Structure 1
């Protein structure tokens, strides 16, 4: 919800009658401060995950969101207090976004069996899409009342805290790492619906034994020197490099810029359509594709989804960049641009659809899969931290890039990034679909070849 809020609030804030008036520079800070808060949340997330456990962390991380939305909803109408409240509120909601994403993915990866894990690790993206749809719809209905939209958003993190408290047990992996094997077994029985009086099924017992064996290989209170030493191992540094590269291509593909500046971008295309209506269509498109990828994850490998997503995004964003360039150069006149306004809007929607199939969802979904247990919390936090730094730069620099390069060339740049990312991930992203966490770790260690991977991916995991 935090990501979609600026798209519907900024047009009202920048209107001539709004008090105080919000300049383009101030608007860029309002949009990007969410991404600036996210790295701080990522830094805090790792010690919270390891210290408090997965379940309690999921409850704690929603508190900044409640406070942030309250500050925005009650923002003063006088300068400078208006900006103080909105800036701090946006930072706090961004802090919550940085805190909440990875614990959910890590928890799902550790609790569920392989077949269900492939589906559930995509649910955070489904929740993100649903939140954006809700904000877009409310923004369309209450275009001038962004304070009401912010106030309504307070309810959702509060409900999340209650849901986690009443419904979720602690992660068995974390319990085993703390020497609480009996509680870990109880959690496994609860999640897998195995009665207490029955013997554990063989596959479940093997999974629990694998957790305990993994736990004995790592020290409970590892120092930073131990962590740095462990990073020399291929099962640590290879997924770290691959995932950070994946997040770089994701953030500089422009997919989050579209989400945060949706109404503004639609207006810049020159199409004679309601910008708020298009934002709702974008949100619904993302939500539909989040459901589709939840199903596709059980049938298709990660690599296939990534390749389809990359090619689709490159083509659709390329069409949008081409149309904008032709319009900018006068080859397509204003009247023709208005008549063919459906072209950039369709390309924009297709980029969102195909992006949600892989580039937007897979990096987050794979965080809970690719890292070994010894550094899973730390590596997930560092990777997400770097990703949010990329996100802040991409979002904050978007208005400046329009002035430096021209609006049309910004999307040409995004096209080049997507194409490069697609080729890179084709060669180096290994397959994790259908593998247990132990098998994935062994794959990076060099004992197995990545299922469905090509020669370059196999060579990557075999080196070292």
Structure 2
């Protein structure tokens, strides 16, 4: 719900204001949790902070519109890495101090974040779209320096149109990115990323590990942070298609081997299984490979693929779809486990990972090093070529 709301807000009030507004439910939610005396208030507070999490999708649009094409990949990939850092900090605090102190720490971070946003400008793209060219140029200078280009770059190129939203949506550069992102999110969720993370403690406990659950959570959060930083660096150096192929291949291979182990030794008692740490190693490898591309890219691409005319709305709809898909799969997973056993679920995740490899090779558009306008032009060019070929065919038929 939060992502859907922010999608409309970021077009109306601006990207920066929409991000600032997302702190409001964070503040209310964390304060409720910190002062809660019963489970009901904790759940209400968590639900409210959940709205804020969805509204945070605006950050990807903001970052995409203020960064240079050469730096945008790295900056966008830092988003999931900072999420991993936040998770690690909260897990660690929860292990050391009372959970109410952790909630107050989160509340304080939100206050600081909201105030700091007051000192940075709106994106040049949005300002230019609203006809505020002077402010757009000033914002461009603020972000990129006086000695760089002070005019609006290709990323800020605006084509004013009187078309309705439906007419804009029916163009190639609108509906094709939507279809690509929907497929990408389905493959991402189906590959088991979130199931592995959410049920990691249960999985490791069932594998016979004596490690405490808190230590498992903190360790996995640390692994996600480290590999996420490596992935952020790699995505800046190599094409996104390559990173998706490597990421999905590693996920599929590790999950296939984990399923193979479970298949052969399922009947044995956990203490009697040989190499009993094997499933845990494959779990760690799966999480590590996921952070090299498949985990981060669907979220970062939402800020890049859509044209300016519908970027705000689509960046509300697509993350909303992503969150619904994640929620549904995480809730369905126990039923899948009962129906297909552990090895069956692992091989199901392997199948989705294989499909993701083909998706990365043949469908995913390459956006590395391209301006937002160049990305939009990739889809517009396809539409122009298709329209041109239809015109030529019609002319030949008439002759």
Is the structural similarity TM-score above 0.5?
Answer: yes
CA distance in 2, matches of 1:57, 1:175: 14
Instruction: Report what 1:171 is aligned to.
Output: 123
| CA distance in structure 2 between the aligned counterparts of 1:289 and 1:205, rounded to whole angstroms | 37
Unaligned runs of 5+ in 2: 392-399
What is the match of residue 53 of structure 1?
14
Find the counterpart in structure 2 of residue 153 from structure 1: 106
Structure 2 residue aligned with 1:424: 359
1:126 aligned to 2:81?
Answer: yes
Say whether 1:318 aligns with 2:256.
yes
Structure 2 residue 297 is matched with structure 1 residue 362: yes
Q: 1:406 to 1:155 in 2, by over 3 A?
A: farther
Q: Match for residue 140 of structure 2?
A: 188
Deviation of the 1:98 alpha carbon? 0.6
The residue aligned with 2:271 is 335
Post-superposition CA distance 1:171-219 (Å, at most 9, x none): 1111111110000000000111116xxxx63xx53616x635x242x34
1:139-183 CA-partner distances (Å, limit 9, x unpaired): 3335xx4444334332222222122123x2101111111110000
Distance 1:328 1:71, change over 3 A: farther
Residue pairs, 1:197-216, within 5 angstroms: 201=149, 205=151, 207=153, 211-212=156-157, 214-216=158-160
CA contact (8 A) 1:176 1:215 kept: no
State the alpha-carbon separation in 1 of the partners of residues 31 and 368 from structure 2.
Answer: 41
Assess if the C-alpha contact under 8 Å between 1:66 and 1:157 holds in 2: yes
- What is the CA distance between 1:99 and its match in structure 2? 0.4
The change in CA–CA distance for 1:321 and 1:93 in structure 2 (over 3 A counts) is farther
More moved, 45-54 vs 413-422: 413-422
Structure ranking higher on relative contact order (CA contacts 8 Å, 6+ apart): 2
Q: Equivalents in 1 of 2:146, 2:364: separation in Å? A: 36
Q: Tell me the SS of whatever aligns to 2:191.
A: coil
Q: Is the 8 A contact 2:207 2:270 kept in 1?
A: no
Q: 1:370 Cα shift?
A: 0.9
In structure 2, how many angstroms separate the alpha carbons of the residues matched to 1:147 and 1:291?
30
Structure 1 residue 236: deviation in Å?
1.1
Supply the distance in 1 between the matched residues of 2:115 and 2:338 (Cα, whole angstroms).
Answer: 46
2:23 alignment counterpart: 62
Mapped partners of 2:271, 2:32: distance in 1: 44
Identify the range of structure 1 (407-416 vs 105-114) with the bigger mean alpha-carbon deviation.
407-416
Runs of 4+ in 1 over 4 A off after TM superposition: none
TM-score, normalising length: structure 2: 0.90
Say yes or no: does 1:380 pair with 2:315.
yes
Q: Is the 8 A contact 1:252 1:391 kept in 2?
A: no
Pairing 1:236-315 to 2, within 5 Å after superposition: 236-315=174-253
Partner in structure 2 of residue 434 of structure 1: 369
Matched residues in 2 for 1:290 and 1:388: separation? Answer: 20
Contact 1:272/1:341 (<8 A) preserved: no
Residue 168 of structure 2 is matched in structure 1 by: 230
Kindly tell me the number of residue pairs found equivalent between the two proteins.
388
Report the CA distance between 1:316 and its aligned residue: 1.2
Give CA-to-partner distance per residue, 1:360-389, whole Å, 9 cap, x none: 001111111111111111112111111111
* Higher mean displacement: 252-261 or 399-408: 399-408
TM-score (norm 1): 0.78
Distance 1:45 1:418 in 2: 31
Residue pair 1:252, 1:390 contacting (<8 A) in 2 also: no
> Mind listing any 5+ residue stretches in structure 1 that lack a counterpart?
1-39, 449-457
Q: Is the 8 A contact 1:305 1:357 kept in 2?
A: yes
Q: 1:408 to 1:300 in 2, by over 3 A?
A: same
Q: Give the RMSD, CA atoms, in angstroms.
A: 2.4
How far is 1:447 from its partner? 5.6
2: distance between equivalents of 1:76 and 1:406?
39
TM-superposition CA deviations, 1:77-114 (whole Å, max 9, x none): 4xxxx2x22322221121111101x2111111111111
| Alignment-derived partner of residue 396 in structure 2 | none
Aligned to 1:92: 48
Instruction: Give 1:288 shift.
Output: 1.1
Q: What is the deviation of 1:257?
A: 2.4
User: What's the CA shift string for 1:253-301, capped at 9, x where partnerless?
Assistant: 2212233333222212223333322222211111112211222222111
